[in-house]
Structure formats: structure tokens, C-alpha cells
Chains A and B, each alone.
Chain A
């Protein structure tokens, strides 16, 4: 994807910080010439668990490693790291997909639980698209949370992108309707819709989201072209439940993994990719507009298991 800068040093720097914790431990387990025994495999398993891959997935990887050991393809602890890297990269490679924005207007719907980073991601995405020469519009469809509209409006001013909005408490469907109309009439390139945070367990809020989607679809057949769940990296196993329920309700086209600039690895996306086949389209590495990147499985895995 050209509009986003490639995986630059910023990403590596961000990932490296988070790497200190896990990779340090993984290095200690793997770098030694200690024999591969149950204790070592157990430590390995725990290191994957520490990255939020989940107990089942970690056990699965560890068992595969155990098999390789049994077959004699792996004899030293130091060989396990490349092995794990290969497992993970193979699994994640199909998940690196570009945004589908070949429509005019292309509509991007952002959704997710409270506080995951939707509004910031909307602004970051708008800014980077604008930087690549696209004509962008934002829609403030979070009419519920206090000052959410104001938040997006401020971002709009900062990045010089217009924000379609109504009064607080108004119908988000109406906001989206206006926004699609405006984007279509002006033949803009991309419309980015910021929605209210909602827990996937709230049926009425999920229905509202489905309705929102329908409003867009009716007005512009084929839209939304991207329906992205914004998930923050510190999220544990519940992230999978979130993805599953949102996916069932509204058919996700991808995940945007935010807050990777902390120490959390976001390993739950491995499970999301594997079991739901939902790709990871964007990652967030900070609060500034330039902190949005495309997903690079290699770099992501490096942060999980350490660089080669």
C-alpha cells in the first residue's frame, strides 16, 4: 500500500521496545545449548502465552515443535526460534492484506469496544490517505460518548479534513446517511466513519451497528468496503470473543491493532487470523498521525519471538 509509509524504523523501534520483555525471555530459553526437554518446551509455551496467543494456540505450537524434535529435524534449543518464527509467519502471511479502497467513494467503517482507539485511528488513516493525495471525509457517528464528536472535530481541524457531524445524542444513522451523501455528491475518494465504542455483548448496540451498516449499504451498494475492528494490543483472550461476535454480526474485512507502542504484543490477533481468517490491515504505534502502519507479519513475528 503506497499511501502508508512502509515499515520504517519507527515500527522497528516501537516493536523492539516491546520485544525487550518477551524476546529477552525467549532468547534465554532458546539461545542456550541446553537439551530440549519437557521443561524447556514448557517454558517456550509460557513465552507464547505471555504474548497473549492463548493457552490452546501456545500448546499447539509447542506440540508441533515437540514433533519436529521427535522426527529429529530439530536437535538443539537454538533451532527452536527459527522454527517458531516459521510457524508464525506462515500462519500470519495470508493476513497481511492492503485496504480495499478502489471505489469512489470507498467507505471505511471503524468499530470496536470502548477505548480501543477508533477515533484516533480514523484521524490517522484520514491523515495518511490525504497525504497520499486522496480526498477524504470523516463522519462522527459516535453521537453517544460525551465529547466524542468534539474529539473527532479537533482531529479534523488538526489534519485539515472535513468532519460530517450532528448534535450529540442524534441518530448515528442520520450522520452516516449525510456523510455518504456528501462523499458521493462530491465524488470524494474515501469516507471514514468513526462509531461509538461498544462491547460485543450488548445486543442493542450490536443491532445499532448492523443498522448503521445497512444505511451505508442501501445508499451505496457494495459499501462499506472496509469494516475494521479496532483492537488494542493489551487486550487478552477476550479479543477473540470480540472479533468473533463482531464478525458474525457485521462481517469484518480486517482488524486494526493499536497501541503496539507499549509492551503488549497483541498475540491475540494470531488466533483471530487463524480461526476467523480475518486479516490484519493496519497497526497503530502511537498517538500521532504518522503512527499508523500496514501490517508486516515478519516484523510482527520478530517482536513476538525475537529477530533472527
Chain B
């Protein structure tokens, strides 16, 4: 989203003209924006209410730091509070002193338990462990086959056969793990509704008799307001030790995480970021906080950018942006660097303006042809046109299209995206004080002072 929270807050404070100290009155309106941002991010409305009250108390009376505007100061407070509420990062699942360590996954239908089970198994394998997967979803057709296929992919044995009850499967799996010296044992259970008493009873029985060390609730990051009810019911009925947030590779803002944290008080251990078995990452509260606030997952992006970006080039680019001399040549350079950072759809998904670049090459495999076209188009321009694209009129567009073997529509699309990117970058100048590390990102201006 282009009008990120900070831009909207900026507008409010511009109107109020407030500077110096944050007063009750001048943050009132700002907090209304914060409220809307959190609701749009699917944070439960009750959690939002509590949160906004908390932030108000924290923010009122604070001096505005010299380096920040009042809007940035509010964002800083809000962001800080969010990070704190989301909990510490990298929650580790402790290994039991008497193996096997047993991890049970539970959640609603379709939340991603089976895939997550395989991802966890892979992760532990990478850490030198020898896990065992138990297929205890006897409900959904072919759920056991799904786990077996995934187990084979990650090289982890899968136990459990149809005809047994889930409890029998889990119990036998525990014995098997102990006998074969396999740990951790990961239990994949059937998806169920949080109001299905009979099926919750089944989980209670497993908890009682198999005594998992870690009971994890798997929650879809796209979940809306109902996340509180779901988490609360599972927590009351079975008990939750930690949470895994799945499908964060989309563009949902993930506010459900805050709701779940709020009602259970349990940490978020991992986040799922893709369909492949390696797409499981440790949880970073600061990143999710930015994302919930609509500021994009800027820190992840910075990390990736730092890995590939040539520092001098980045500074050069930042200077050009300041001077507003960002040319098509630079645009081409940008696209190249972005592509080095990984699948572009992931990168763009992390940015608040990711949607702006719709139609740009977003995927390495699928759309390299598109980048090739862009490359050819810019290549067919005169140096003057690249520096100063405003001169590219209709007849020049036709010439460029002919020269690059593309169509006028392709040329138009490129020019439009270039214009959009420039616009976006101008917006980003407003964020520079708040996000100092952005200086390392290609195309983002170096903060002054």
C-alpha cells in the first residue's frame, strides 16, 4: 500500500502542526489511523482497543526526538509496542532430556499442518537430528499419503497406518521413536474446528496419553477476526505451547498473530513462507510488526539487499534519487539487483508498494522473458532518452519498439513502471529517518545526518 501508515500520520501532524511534545489531543487523531491500520491488518478489534489504549499512555508526554517528525515518533512508539507484544524472536523448542521430544501440531482445516510437519522434520534433519513423522490425520482423504510423500521428500520416516485411531497411531509412534532412537517425533493431526467438542476430546486424549513436550497451534496468516476465538478455544481445550504462522509468503498483513499472542500469551516459534519443505523460518517480531503496520517487511528486504548490493552503487543511486536524476539506465540496474535478491514476487511482497510494480518481472523462472524485453527496450533507447524519458513521444515509442523487437504496449508498460517506481521512491524519502538501515537498500536514499 502506497499510503503507508507513516504517510497518513504525516498528513495528520502536518495539519495539526504539532511538534515538540506529543499531547493527548494531537495523538488522538493519529491513534485513530493506527486503529484502522491494525484492523485492516486483521488484528482482532478487542486486541486493537487494548493496544491503542496502551500506546496512548506510552506516547503522551513523550518528547519528539530531534531526528524524527511527530508522525515518525508515533510510528516508532506503535512499532515498539507491537514488537514487544509479539514477543521475543527465535523461540526455540527445547529438546526433552529423555528422547524422543514429542511435538504435536493442531489447528483448523486447511491451516497447513501437514506441510508444516514436513518442514519441521526437514529443519531438524538439517540440525543433525533424526526425526520421525506420525500421520495421525485419519480424517481427510489421502492426508496420510500426503505426509508419506513429503516424508520421502525430506528423507524422514513416516509412521501410522489407516485402520488405527489417531491416539493409537500417536502412542505407537512414540514407542517406535523411542525404540529406534528417533527424535523429535512430530505428530500431524487432522484439521478440526475449535467448536468440535468430540474432535477436541481426541486431542486432549493424545495430550494426556502421549504427553507431547510441545503442542503447537498452526494458524493461517490470512485469518481474520476469528483468530482470537480459535486460539482461545484450542488453548482452553488442549493447551498451546507455541504458535506457527503459515502462508506468510502472500500479502496478508498477518495481524492474526497479534490476536493469537494476545489471547494465549504463547510465543510464535516459526513462520511458513512457501509451499516447499524448506520454507520455514524463525519468527522475527520486528518484521511482522512492520508488516502489520503496512510498512512492508522492510527489514527482511534490507537483509537480502545487503547480501547482494554493491555499496558504492547503492550510494550513487541514493544520490541520484535525492537529485531526482534517477534514469532508465538506473532502472535497468535496479531490476538486475532486485533479481539477484531472490524470487521477485517474494521481494515485492515484502514491500508496502509491491503491488505498484504489478506486471514487472516477479519471478525468476516464469518471467525472465519479461526482463529480457525490458532490457532490450532500454537498450534501444538513445542515451538522451534514457536520461530524460519525458522526451519519448509516440513516434519514438514506435521506433524503440521496432528496434527492440517488442510492441509499443511493452514500451508503454515499461515507462509506466519506471514512473511508478520514481513516485514510490519519492514516498520512501519520508521514511528515511525512521528506517536508517534503508541506506543499504538499492534505490533508497541515504539518510542525511
Point out residues on A near B: beta carbons under 8 Å: 17, 21, 46, 49-52, 54-56, 113-117, 144-148, 150-151, 153-155, 158, 168, 199-204, 207, 232-239, 241, 259, 261-265, 267-268, 287
- Do A238 and B252 touch (CB < 8 A)? yes
Q: Taking the complex as formed, is B366 at the interface, i.e. its CB lies under 8 A from any CB of chain A?
A: yes
- A52-B225, A115-B112 known; A154-B275 Cβ under 8 A: no
Closest to B108 in A: A234
Question: Does residue B142 face the partner (Cβ distance < 8 Å to A)?
Answer: yes
Mark each residue of chain B from 137 to 150: 1 if its CB lies under 8 Å from any CB of chain A, else 0.
00111110111111
Does the CB pair A116–B110 fall under 8 Å?
yes
Kindly state whether residue B345 has any CB partner on chain A within 8 Å: yes
Chain A residues within an 8 Å CB radius of B39? 49, 54-55
B227: A residues at CB distance < 8 A: 234, 236
CB of A239 within 8 A of CB of B109, answer no
Task: Kindly list chain B residues whose C-beta atoms are within 8 Å of the C-beta of A55.
Answer: 35-36, 39-40
> What residues of B have a CB within 8 angstroms of the CB of A261 in the complex?
193
Q: Is the CB of B226 within 8 A of A241?
A: no
Taking a contact as CB atoms closer than 8 A, the residue among A113, A168, A268 that contacts B224 in the complex is A268
Check A199/B142 contact, CB under 8 A, given A234-B223, A234-B226, A236-B222.
no
Q: Beyond A203-B363, A204-B365, A264-B225: 15 further Cβ-contacts under 8 Å?
A: A50-B225, A55-B39, A145-B146, A146-B149, A148-B142, A202-B345, A233-B226, A234-B224, A235-B223, A236-B225, A236-B255, A237-B40, A241-B252, A263-B230, A287-B140
Given known contacts A17-B195, A204-B363, A263-B194, is B247 in contact with A114 (CB within 8 Å)?
yes
- Chain B residues with Cβ under 8 A from A268's Cβ? 224
Asked whether B229 lies within 8 Å of A21 as measured between CB atoms, the reply is yes
Q: Which residue of B lies closest to A241 (CB)?
A: B251
User: Is B141 in contact with A155, judged by CB distance below 8 angstroms?
Assistant: yes
Q: Please report the C-alpha to C-alpha distance between residue A114 and residue B272 in the assembled complex, in whole angstroms.
A: 13
- Per the bound structure, the CA–CA distance linking A200 and B250 in Å amounts to 7
- Kindly state the separation between the CA atoms of A203 and B230 in the bound complex, as whole angstroms: 31
Q: Which chain A positions have C-beta within 8 A of B252?
A: 236-238, 241
Assembled-state Cα–Cα distance A113/B221 (Å): 12
What is the interface residue range for chain B against chain A?
35 or more
A264 cross-chain contacts in B, Cβ below 8 A: 224-226, 229
- With a CB–CB cut-off of 8 A, which chain B residues contact A153? 142
Task: Report whether A115 and B109 are in contact in the complex, using a CB–CB cutoff of 8 Å.
Answer: yes
A115 touches B220 (CB 8 A): yes
| Cβ-defined contact, B249 with A151, below 8 A | no
Q: Please list 5 pairs of residues, one from A and one from B, whose beta carbons are closer than 8 Å in the complex, sorted by A's number.
A: A146-B149, A151-B145, A204-B362, A235-B223, A236-B256
Q: Report B-chain residues with C-beta under 8 Å of the C-beta of A267.
A: 224
CA distance in complex: A241, B229 (Å): 24
Chain A residues contacting B220 (CB-CB under 8 Å) are 115, 234-235
Give A267 to B225 CA distance when docked, in angstroms. Answer: 10
| B residues in contact with A237, CB < 8 Å | 40-42, 224, 252-253
Shortest B287–chain A CB gap in Å is 17
Q: Does B70 contact A (CB under 8 A)?
A: no
Contact between A262 and B366, CB atoms less than 8 A apart: no
Residue of B nearest to A45 (CB): B45
